[in-house]
Amino acid sequence: MATSRASFSLRRLLLGPPLPTVAMPHQTVGKFVGLAVFSSDALSSVAYATEEILVVLSVAGAAYFGLSIPIALAICGLLAILTASYRQTIFAYPSGGGAYIVARDNLGELAAQTAGAALMIDYILTVSVSVASGVAQIVSAFPRLAPIRVELALAMIAGMALVNLRGVRESGAVFAIPTYFFIVTMLGTIAFGLYRLLTGHLGTVTDVPPVPATTGQALTLFLILRAFSSGSTALTGVEAISNGIQAFREPKSRNAAATMVWMSVLLATLFLGITVLAHHIRAIPAEDETVISQIARTVWGRGPLYLTTLTATTVILIMAANTSFADFPRLAALHAADGFLPRQFTIRGSRLVFSWGIVVLASVASLLVVIFRASVTHLIPLYAIGVYLSFTLSQAGMVVRWLKIGRLRPDEVVETKGSVLRYDPHWRWKLAINAVGAASTFVVMIVFAVTKFTSGAWIVTVLVPLLVWIFFRIHHHYEDVRRTLSLKDKPVRTEPAPVIHMVLVSDVNTASLEQIRFVRSLGVPWFGVHVAVDEAKAEVVRSRWERYVPDGTLIVLPSPFRDLVGPIREYVEALRARHPEAFIHVVMGQIVAEHFLEQALHQNATVIFALALRHIPGVAVTNVVFPLHAPQQAPAPHPAAAVASADE
């Protein structure tokens, strides 16, 4: 009791008091706040995307860094396609059009589970990559912290997990302030940088270890595509709004679509601005200083505005990681509710959050941070395949949806799970937009997988099918259980059966006499059983039994191998074989100590017995609890207890 109360208090201190179910929030936001809430993931990617392009190009040499600008332009083109494509999803699925839902609705279960698996991997990586990049910004400003990179990242993840287990009130301000702070700071940096560039006052970055102009390695198409892949991580998170349409004020779809366009424009501006500035100041990707830090240092000088820029970047990265803490548990709960993940993911904890999802996300993200030593460059090859796979599936789903619509009569209306199908005269044109979106993201995914295969992408190409297989295995099990438990079209057995009562005793003492008193109180025939692990002890038990339980039979089972459970299991199985219709009722006693450390001093054989007997049908195992320290005061009667005693 003491322990559970102590652990309860600690939990309450960390997580706060429990919240009743009726406290579930229902809150909507406008476009201004909505942009802040849903864009941190997408916008924060600019903190590392340019840098990762340069990392790849540096393999050939600094002379090729100028290529980053056409690459960034190509990525912005892709962004335009994606935005057009996703705007259509927002209108088609006003109640929320995540890849899982769209794929399920149009492409079937396999595509949906694949999209889900890809998204989950992506959410986990969002946490790892964003936190790693956040730490890299901090280390750029405070190089002394470099040796504790990994520890800093782990502390951040743990802190986020705790905050989310407490439950974040997604009040707009919490998101609006840091997101707009980042947007304003970064636009300011870009604007002032361009002003200095145009007036000829922008210098180049100093104090950075140089990269040779040419390394002798040829600039192959493969390398350019690889750089493009790295940069394409800038688009991770653009789908966020399509998941969260329900959070917008009416007209939801229109507000969400407008916000999506604004977000894309902002993202393109920031990404291009940073890439252009990085090129002009001759930024060099380095282990200990991020490109953002190099830009801010060159534009503002080492002063308060430099630190402000890095702070804003770090904060937006943390916000981005935090969105995964909302999205991953929600997606996992969706899968679990459909029976493709353990049911426990659907349980809302005492603070109304999906605790399991939060804990799993934080654990796996932490593991990745440890394995990849909190390095963005090492994590990047795993990232984005999942995103582009889900993009592809979601848009391919939309293509199928337009095909269905094309086949409708003008007045026909069909309702699917998350969408309403109505004939649309422009369906061919809209199909084309989604088809272009699907095709281009598919190509990017393949490019990504091929160019990054050996540096980590292979992990994801193995993991996605493996996860999908596991999801279906889980589903299969739940379906099995559902059929077994279902009462439909089954004869219901209600007739009483004979019950064989046996009392398992390890000794004759106050605890075992309490077991016997319980079975006596049932008013049924019974007998005692003792396993003779130790022959000498068995003799003592037998003689004590004769003295204290003269009216009961005691059966002593031999155990030549000192095995406690084997003889009992065999005995119960033998009884079952002789009396297949009967229940076998095994009464055990459990000594309960006040403290779990004390409990560990006891053999706790009841747990072992229960495990050993649980595979035998028709067995009922009773634990007669024997608390060594009984509670000192009786609690106040429960209101419902009166009802019960009236019914007895």
Which residue number, 221 or 634, has a Cβ lying nearer to its own copies? 634
Write down the least CB distance from residue 10 to its own copies, Å. 17
Cis peptide before 251 (omega within 30 of 0): yes
* Residue 627, phi then psi, degrees to nearest 5: -70, 130
Which residue number, 160 or 502, has a Cβ lying nearer to its own copies? 502
Distance CA 54, CA 279 (A): 9
- Footprint on residues 27-86 left by its own copies (CB under 8 A): none
Q: Does 499 bind its own copies (CB under 8 A)?
A: yes
Q: Which is nearest to 188 in space by CA: 315, 66, 282, 312?
A: 312
Among 511, 530, 538, 541, binds its own copies (CB under 8 A): 511
Q: Considering only 14-22, 250-258, 323-331, 435-443, which stretch makes contact with its own copies by CB under 8 A?
A: 14-22
Which residue number, 305 or 593, has a Cβ lying nearer to its own copies? 593
Q: Does 24 bind its own copies (CB under 8 A)?
A: no
Side chain identity at 289, as an amino acid letter? Answer: E
List Cβ neighbours of 175 (8 Å cut-off, separation of 6 or more): 33, 36, 37, 40, 319
- Footprint on residues 296-355 left by its own copies (CB under 8 A): 342-344, 347-348, 350
Beta strand 413-415 with 420-422: parallel, antiparallel or unpaired?
Answer: antiparallel
Q: Does 1 bind its own copies (CB under 8 A)?
A: yes
Q: What is the DSSP string of 498-526?
A: -EEEEEE-SS-SHHHHHHHHHHHHTTS-E
Distance CA 586, CA 567 (A): 14
Query: Which residue is associated with the tokens 């030593």?
Result: 373
Which residue number, 144 or 493, has a Cβ lying nearer to its own copies? 493
- Footprint on residues 463-492 left by its own copies (CB under 8 A): 474, 477-478, 480-481, 484-487, 490, 492
Residue 444 to residues 280, 342, 388, 431: CA-CA distances in angstroms?
Answer: 28, 33, 7, 20
Which residue number, 514 or 539, has a Cβ lying nearer to its own copies? 514
Write down the least CB distance from residue 423 to its own copies, Å. 36
Distance CA 553, CA 182 (A): 80
551 near 527, Cβ under 8 Å?
no
Write down the least CB distance from residue 536 to its own copies, Å. 11
- Contact characters 85-124, its own copies, x per CB under 8 A: ----------------------------------------
Which residue number, 273 or 589, has a Cβ lying nearer to its own copies? 589
Write down the least CB distance from residue 28 to its own copies, Å. 24
- Footprint on residues 609-648 left by its own copies (CB under 8 A): 610, 613-628, 630-631, 634-638, 640-645, 647-648
572 near 584, Cβ under 8 Å?
yes
Write down the least CB distance from residue 589 to its own copies, Å. 10
Q: Which two tokens stand for residue 113?
A: 């589970």
Write down the least CB distance from residue 217 to its own copies, Å. 32
Among 199, 454, 494, 632, binds its own copies (CB under 8 A): 494
Among 500, 503, 505, 538, binds its own copies (CB under 8 A): 500
Write down the least CB distance from residue 330 to its own copies, Å. 17
Q: Does 571 bind its own copies (CB under 8 A)?
A: yes
List Cβ neighbours of 252 (8 Å cut-off, separation of 6 or more): 94, 245, 246
Q: What is the DSSP string of 362-381?
A: HHHHHHHHHHTTT-HHHHGG
E strand or H helix that includes residue 529: strand 526-532
Q: Does 359 bind its own copies (CB under 8 A)?
A: no
Q: Considering only 19-27, 55-63, 205-213, 221-229, which stretch makes contact with its own copies by CB under 8 A?
A: 19-27
Q: Which two tokens stand for residue 151?
A: 């520890």
Count Cβ neighbours within 10 Å for each residue of 270-295 and write b for 16 or more, e otherwise. Answer: bbbbbbbbbbbbbbbbbeebbbbbbb
List Cβ neighbours of 580 (8 Å cut-off, separation of 6 or more): 618
Write down the least CB distance from residue 9 to its own copies, Å. 15
Coil, strand or helix at 503 = strand
| Crossing angle of helices 46-57 and 31-44, rounded to 10° | 20
- Footprint on residues 538-567 left by its own copies (CB under 8 A): 544, 548, 553, 555, 557, 560-563
Write down the least CB distance from residue 2 to its own copies, Å. 10
Q: Does 576 bind its own copies (CB under 8 A)?
A: yes
Among 13, 22, 173, 221, binds its own copies (CB under 8 A): 22
- Contact characters 580-609, its own copies, x per CB under 8 A: x--x-x-x--xxxxx---x-xxxx------
Which residue number, 454 or 645, has a Cβ lying nearer to its own copies? 645
Q: Considering only 132-140, 261-269, 317-325, 499-507, which stretch makes contact with its own copies by CB under 8 A?
A: 499-507
Write down the least CB distance from residue 578 to its own copies, Å. 6
Beta strand 526-532 with 499-504: parallel, antiparallel or unpaired?
Answer: parallel
Q: Beta-strand (E) ranges in 387-507?
A: 413-415, 420-422, 499-504
Q: Does 536 bind its own copies (CB under 8 A)?
A: no
Which residue number, 212 or 525, has a Cβ lying nearer to its own copies? 525
Q: Which is nearest to 147 in space by CA: 316, 373, 329, 388?
A: 373
Share of the chain residues as helix, strand and coil, in percent rounded to the nearest 5: 65, 5, 25
Q: Considering only 144-152, 234-242, 246-254, 523-531, which stretch makes contact with its own copies by CB under 8 A?
A: 523-531
223 near 71, Cβ under 8 Å?
no
Write down the least CB distance from residue 472 to its own copies, Å. 13
